[in-house]
Amino acid sequence: SAVLESKLESLASYKVEVGGPRAVADIFNRLGAKASKETLAKIEERDEEMSNLIKEMMFTFEDIAKLDKGAIAEILKTVEKQDLMLGLKSAPDDLKQRFLSIMSERAREAFEEEMQFMGAVKMKEVEGAQRKIVEVVNGLAEAGTIQLGSSSEEMVE
């Protein structure tokens, strides 16, 4: 039992940093946009530098608009159509256009028509769909299928 006690004492004094800005950014990516923005604002009140670090590490639904056409096409192939329709329901026009511009004219018309027939939907459902889309995007990035970053970055062939 003395050996066990000394082991426990050494473990208790052993410190490991868990989390940090990366962990917070990952949590915020899984939260709804409203909740993460509100919480980030509170962090910014106390520590602006930490808030900026977290923002840099976060990938939000709106950041999809900054991805290149190849990435958007890959997302379009991978994401459930219903989730995409819900997610784009409250999205900025530039983001909607990024997806619609890749679709064929017929597919675009059908997609827009289906979105209109959805009618009003709860914001909670829209945010849930947006979270699913961001998770798919992060999964594609982790698999190396797409790169997260601005489409304005210099490309070399």
Q: Looking at the whole model, is its pTM more than 0.85?
A: no
Residue 57: pLDDT above 90?
A: no
Residue 151: pLDDT above 60?
A: no
Rounded Cα distance, 48 and 98, in Å: 32
CB 148 within 8 A of CB 141: yes
Provide the token pair at 14.
């052993």
| Domains, the chain, with CATH or none | 1-58 (1.20.5.2020), 64-151 (1.10.220.30)
Q: For residue 120, what are the contacts with CB-CB under 8 A and spacing of at least 6?
A: none
Write out pLDDT tens, residues 58-116.
788 888 998 999 999 999 999 999 999 999 999 999 999 999 999 999 999 999 999 99
Give me the percent of the chain exceeding a pLDDT of 70.
Answer: 83
Rounded Cα distance, 80 and 136, in Å: 10
